[in-house]
Amino acid sequence: MISRDSLLQVKKHMEGCIGQEIYIKANLGRNKQMQKVGTIDGVFSNLFVIKEQETEHKYSYTYADILTNNLEMTKIDTGEPVVNYELNLPKKYTRL
């Protein structure tokens, strides 16, 4: 279960990363993924905004997307994860 404290920890970490160039890999469901390069544009109470480099489009994500591994972000210059937070959630579906 995702706690309020874990969401606040991710938010505080993201506030320190505003303006950094990152590589984004987002899970869109049904075996679809989006991979982009952008910068962290803004951090708000429930979500954060990423501005894509090539097209200047803005995408918004919630902090729960990071905790549930629906969104992976790595720094371009170092290759390390932007948010290094492990949460041991059970898998949503299991095949019998």
| pLDDT tens digits along 22-55 | 999 999 888 899 999 999 999 999 999 999 999 9
> What pLDDT was estimated at residue 79?
87
* In the block, residue with structure tokens 């544009």: 41
pLDDT tens digits for range 64-83: 999 888 999 999 988 888 88
> What pLDDT was estimated at residue 85?
65
Residue 40, Cβ density class (10 Å: 0-12 exposed, 13-18 middle, ≥19 buried): buried
Mean pLDDT, range 5-30, rounded to an integer: 90
The residues near 20 (Cβ < 8 Å, ≥ 6 apart) are: 39, 40, 75, 82
Q: Can you tell me the distance from the alpha carbon of 39 to that of 82, in angstroms, rounded to the nearest whole number?
A: 11
The architecture in CATH of the region 4-75 reads Roll (2.30)
Listed by start position, the domains of the chain span 4-75
Predicted TM-score of the model (pTM): 0.80
